[in-house]
């Protein structure tokens, strides 16, 4: 035996240590339960025993379809103990999209809350289905996970029109916890409000990080300004994650309630999509800096979330600062690093990186070519920091959701009434950006309402276009190779 095994750990043992050291400290709370660390560990161990009794072995996937609730986290930690992977399903997807996501990971079990148990049964296709609150068993289990085992699968929008399943390992989760805490000055015992859907890293990753640190996790089923303020009054909060569309509603309630909050280390994200006056107002109300972030599901908060905007001091330049635990290159089309001031694609390396996309070897080979993860986002390094220069993989960020145009275009182009179509982004004061469909009609009778119905049948609500522009085929600007120039179309909407 070598000594190196003693230098490795995984998620479950770190949370188990919190339960041993501070068993009575608050761990998780939702609208129906409040558990100390000791009680949480008991529930986790019981569910792990139940999963083992079902014959689930290390590496198997559990598809989870549920709203935010304590049982979701308990299942994730029980799976983490056994080396199982929880594939967090986006229940807001259209049925066909959700069926694809479930089938992609070939789960050994589908676990669903009461709200979604019938939907789970419809999607099962022979896979066992179990209620989320009925998984507990009896008996002893041991921690079988290893650092590079998958912990979560979180789905990302796909440039080819299909979601991709990003595998986040125990190693990556522990590194993400460390990086976030170092960059944001979060202390042991600081809490987290998990209101974002648990099928996002904002709902799952940061809650588990908080539990590894010994802090309290408050679970809220969707954005609820009053529930968030209640949590701010009850606990010191490390990072108060808010996406652009949620900030002003929270500001309104903070002004009305004037709560005595315990303190916040940092607030918000994606400063580029928030009016500077709003950044000033929320930071002043909470007496907390604003997180000027740039990260991804695949990378965590890195590579560029090392900058905090001081309360009341929003600035014109939102250049980014390098995160801790991160190597970053800006690379040109020739594969070489660009000079300072020139735009290059962000290539990242570091322990927070995910482990690739499940069952997608071609994309993995392309995106990890040369031993670096190619993000598809363009930056310039200047005296002010890393300045965003555009997206080589065109992405729409709408209210905290990532939308790739290909997902919408796939639905539009499948209809015989559409001769051609492209989707572009448009600035929006509430959502930051929204998708707009630009369509060449094959059938002149095709209306905007019919386009919206088409999208309503095939896409989640947040992905549906917020406007439709009908144009002639000759109106679409094209390159010499005939490809539609998306940036030029964007200027038309």
Q: What is the CATH number of domain 9-309?
A: 3.40.50.12780
Q: How much is the pLDDT for 480?
A: 55
Domain parsing of the chain, residue ranges: 9-309, 401-490
Q: How much is the pLDDT for 1?
A: 42
Over residues 93-116, the pLDDT tens digits come to: 989 899 999 999 999 999 999 999
Average pLDDT by stretches of 10, the chain with 493 residues: 76 98 98 98 98 98 98 98 98 92 98 98 97 97 98 83 92 97 95 97 97 98 98 98 92 98 96 87 98 96 97 87 98 94 94 98 96 93 89 80 82 88 92 94 95 92 94 85 80 93
- The model carries a pTM of 0.87
Q: How much is the pLDDT for 314?
A: 82
Q: Note the residue count of the chain.
A: 493
Bridge partners, 26 (sequence order): 36
Q: How much is the pLDDT for 94?
A: 87
Over residues 276-307, the pLDDT tens digits come to: 889 999 999 999 999 999 999 999 999 999 99
Please tell me if the domain spanning 9-309 has the same topology as the one spanning 401-490: no
Give yes or no for a contact between 75 and 132, defined as CB atoms under 8 angstroms apart: yes
What is the residue whose two structure tokens read 């363009």? Answer: 378
DSSP track, 351-389:
TT----BTT-HHHHHHHTGGGSEEEEEEEEEETTEEEEE
- Give the separation between CA 343 and CA 332, rounded to whole angstroms: 7
- State the fold for domain 401-490: GMP Synthetase; Chain A, domain 3 (3.30.300)
Q: How much is the pLDDT for 257?
A: 97
Give yes or no for a contact between 268 and 262, defined as CB atoms under 8 angstroms apart: no
Tokens of 264: 């916040």
Q: How much is the pLDDT for 158?
A: 62
Q: How much is the pLDDT for 393?
A: 67
Q: How much is the pLDDT for 230?
A: 98
């Amino acid at each position: 035996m070598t000594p190196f095994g003693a230098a490795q750990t995984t998620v479950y043992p770190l949370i188990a240590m919190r339960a041993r050291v501070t068993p009575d400290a608050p761990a998780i709370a939702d609208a129906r339960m409040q558990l100390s660390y000791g009680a949480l560990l008991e529930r986790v161990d019981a569910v792990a025993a139940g999963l083992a009794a079902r014959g689930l072995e290390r590496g198997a996937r559990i598809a989870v379809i549920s709203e935010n609730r304590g049982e979701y986290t308990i299942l994730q930690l029980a799976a983490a103990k056994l080396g199982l992977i929880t594939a967090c399903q986006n229940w807001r997807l259209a049925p066909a999209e959700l069926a694809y996501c479930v089938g992609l990971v070939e789960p050994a079990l589908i676990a669903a809350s009461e709200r979604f148990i019938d939907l789970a049964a419809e999607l099962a296709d022979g896979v066992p289905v179990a209620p989320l609150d009925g998984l507990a068993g009896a008996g002893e289990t041991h921690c079988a996970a290893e650092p590079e085992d998958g912990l979560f699968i979180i789905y990302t929008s796909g440039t080819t029109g299909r979601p991709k399943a990003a595998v986040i390992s125990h190693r990556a989760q522990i590194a993400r916890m460390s990086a976030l805490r170092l960059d944001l000055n979060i202390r042991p015992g600081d809490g987290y409000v998990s209101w974002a859907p648990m099928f996002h890293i904002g709902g799952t990753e940061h809650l588990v990080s908080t539990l590894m640190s010994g802090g309290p996790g408050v679970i809220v089923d969707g954005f609820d300004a009053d529930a968030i303020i209640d949590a701010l009054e009850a606990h010191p909060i490390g990072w108060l994650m808010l996406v652009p569309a949620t900030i002003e509603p929270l500001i309104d309630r903070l002004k009305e309630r004037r709560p005595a909050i315990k303190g916040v280390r940092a607030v918000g994200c994606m400063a580029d999509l928030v009016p500077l006056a709003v950044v000033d107002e929320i930071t002043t109300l909470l007496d907390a800096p604003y997180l000027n972030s740039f990260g991804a599901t695949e990378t965590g908060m890195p590579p560029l979330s090392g900058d905090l905007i001081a309360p009341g001091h929003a600035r014109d330049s939102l250049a980014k600062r390098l995160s801790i635990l991160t190597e970053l290159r800006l690379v040109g089309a020739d594969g070489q690093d660009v000079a300072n001031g020139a735009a290059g694609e962000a290539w990242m390396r570091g322990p927070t990186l995910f482990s690739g996309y499940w069952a997608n070897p071609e994309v993995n080979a392309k995106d990890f070519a040369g031993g670096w993860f190619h993000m598809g986002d363009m930056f310039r390094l200047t005296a002010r920091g890393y300045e965003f220069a555009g997206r080589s993989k065109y992405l729409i960020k709408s209210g905290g959701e990532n939308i790739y145009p290909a997902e919408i275009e796939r639905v539009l182009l499948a209809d015989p009434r559409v001769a051609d179509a492209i989707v572009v982004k448009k600035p929006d004061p509430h959502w930051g950006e929204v998708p707009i469909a630009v369509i060449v009609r094959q059938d002149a009778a095709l209306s905007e309402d019919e386009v919206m119905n088409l999208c309503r049948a095939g896409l989640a609500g947040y992905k549906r276009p917020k406007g439709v522009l009908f144009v002639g085929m000759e109106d679409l600007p094209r390159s010499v190779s005939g490809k539609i120039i998306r940036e030029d179309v964007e200027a038309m909407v």
